[in-house]
Structure formats: C-alpha cells, structure tokens
C-alpha cells in the first residue's frame, strides 16, 4: 500500500537506484510516496529488507520504463532517498564498453566520470549562493572497495577502475563519437550515471556505480552497431549475478561512514535546507 511521506514514514539507510530485474529484490516491502521540491521521483520508493539492512529502491526509469535517460527526474530521486534517511547509494546500470578488453558480461566499478550530456538539471544550488562542491573523485571509495571485494568473493572478477562517459541519449553513439571517446582514454559509456553522481555529492551522500557491460560500443567493433535487443539480452543473462553482488555490498557497507563523502559540505553556507 502506498502512503504519503510523513513523520511516521519508514526509513532506510542504503538506497539502490536500478532498472529491470531489481523491482522485487527486497523483502517485506512498503511503498512510500515522497513529495520533493523537484516533483515526484521516478516512482514511489520501495522500502524493505535486504541482507539484514533497510534499503530504499527507486526504479530509475519508472517501473513501466516511461522515462528516457534525459527525462529521468534525477534531482527528485536523490532528494527523496536522502529525505528517507539514506546516506549510501548504489547505482547499478547497463553500459557499453569503449575497449575490447571489457567485453559483454564484465562488471566494472569506475573511479572517474566524464560528462557529455546537455540540458540536464545537475545541481540543487541554482539560487541564493554559489556552491562549489568538490567532484575530483566522483565515487565513494568505501563503496567502490565493497563492490570490488564482494564481486571477487562471488567469483566475478571486476574491473575496479576506469572512466564512465555519460552521453545525453536516448540514441546510441555514432562510430565517430565512439572512437573519439575511446581516444580520450575513457573505458565505459552510459546514459544515466550523470547527474546522479554529482547530485549525490551535493547532498553529501556516498554514491557508487556498478556498471554491467552489455555491448562493445559502435566504434569498437565492426558490424551493425549497438542494438537494444542485444543490451537487454546480456543484461538479462547477468541480472541474477548483479543482484547477488548488490545484496553482498549492502551487507558489507559500514553502518558508520568514515569516507570523505559526509564532509564535502563542511564550511559551505548552503542556500537551502537539506532533508
């Protein structure tokens, strides 16, 4: 049963923003409708138990996949999670590879991000004061370590570094674009990793991306190029493993944060009150 957010609403400590295959991975689920200053999130937030922890889940594209990458309500999603008590966020997603070394089925944990989107709302601090948040290392080091260790323990050796370039979408890249991205040394390509990561940073949340490679990008392999059919097939073939790693990471994440993420707003006068 869905409820409106209130003083008595359920809370969670860890958030997961994911897609197909993650809609029913929690136990004892309660749906919560959360109002934010940026509108509603992609869907009501599902809160339940996973690996003994309280977890909040938001389907990134909506449960009916109605939001294309450039229309996802990113600000509402991250704000809703924080308002429910979440301080650590996992972002599993499907990506393409910009190197033949990382073929379909690879699990990658990037440590850098390059933004090639345009027109997306990517800050909470638009009015009242200039807020400059450090983003030199966009992902939580504790979360990245937990993902790498959990994946190895499950027998799935991850690629534990790399740069994710995020494009506007919803179209896939041309071969020329793909080759140019690869020439920059970037290794992964996706459509949803930004502005999720920077919005998490602006809310002093930990954010970790788990990237499942579903294809070699258009400029890396000859042939017909990337197709949605191929992406969905490879994602479906690996979703059980990805869910298992997410569950293990949820269990492994610390209850007290000692990473740099909680202190990124220290000493900054914010023009708005965070939830």
Please answer whether residues 128 and 272 qualify as being in contact, where contact means their C-beta atoms are separated by less than 8 angstroms: yes
Task: Give me 104's structure tokens.
Answer: 């379909």
Please answer whether residues 251 and 53 qualify as being in contact, where contact means their C-beta atoms are separated by less than 8 angstroms: yes
Please answer whether residues 19 and 26 qualify as being in contact, where contact means their C-beta atoms are separated by less than 8 angstroms: no
d(CA 99, CA 186): 9
Q: Is residue 217 among the annotated active site residues?
A: yes
Q: Is residue 27 among the annotated active site residues?
A: no
Please answer whether residues 193 and 93 qualify as being in contact, where contact means their C-beta atoms are separated by less than 8 angstroms: yes
Please answer whether residues 72 and 60 qualify as being in contact, where contact means their C-beta atoms are separated by less than 8 angstroms: yes
Task: Give me 70's structure tokens.
Answer: 């450039």
Number of H helices, E strands in the chain: 5, 11
Point out the catalytic residue in the list 64, 215, 237, 240.
Answer: 215
Point out the catalytic residue in the list 43, 115, 217, 248.
Answer: 217
How many Cα atoms occupy the beta-carbon half-sphere of 109 within 13 Å?
A: 26
d(CA 65, CA 182): 29
Instruction: Give first-to-last CA distance, the chain, whole Å.
Output: 24
Task: Give me 26's structure tokens.
Answer: 């929690």
- Give the dihedral of Cα atoms 152, 154, 156, 160; nearest 10 deg: -30
Concatenate the DSSP letters of all residues of 193-217 into one string.
HHHHHHHHHHTT-EEEEEEEEEEE-
The owner of tokens 């601090």 is 125
Active-site amino acid positions: 215, 217
């Amino acid at each position: 049963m869905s409820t409106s957010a209130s003083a008595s609403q359920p809370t969670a400590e860890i958030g997961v923003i994911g897609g197909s295959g993650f809609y029913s991975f929690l136990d004892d689920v309660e749906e919560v409708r959360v109002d934010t200053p940026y509108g509603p999130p992609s869907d009501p937030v599902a809160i339940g138990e996973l690996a003994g922890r309280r977890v909040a889940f938001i389907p990134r594209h909506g449960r009916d996949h109605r939001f294309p990458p450039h229309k996802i309500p990113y600000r509402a999603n991250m704000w809703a999670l924080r308002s429910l008590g979440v301080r650590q966020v996992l972002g599993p997603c499907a990506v393409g590879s910009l190197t033949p070394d990382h073929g379909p089925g690879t699990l990658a944990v990037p440590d850098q991000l390059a933004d090639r989107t345009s027109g997306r709302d990517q800050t909470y601090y638009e009015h009242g004061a200039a807020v400059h948040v450090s983003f030199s290392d966009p992902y939580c080091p504790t979360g990245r370590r937990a993902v790498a260790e959990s994946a190895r323990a499950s027998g799935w050796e991850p690629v534990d570094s790399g740069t994710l370039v995020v494009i506007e979408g919803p179209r896939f890249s041309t071969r020329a674009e793909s080759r140019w991205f690869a020439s920059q040394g970037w290794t992964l390509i996706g459509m949803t990793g930004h502005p999720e990561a920077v919005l998490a940073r602006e809310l002093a949340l930990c954010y970790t991306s788990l990237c499942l490679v579903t294809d070699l990008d258009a400029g890396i392999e000859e042939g017909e190029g990337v197709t949605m059919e191929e992406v969905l097939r490879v994602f479906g073939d690996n979703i059980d493993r990805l869910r298992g790693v997410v569950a293990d990471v949820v269990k492994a994440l610390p209850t007290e944060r000692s990473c740099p993420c909680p202190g990124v707003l220290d000493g900054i006068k914010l023009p708005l009150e965070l939830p």
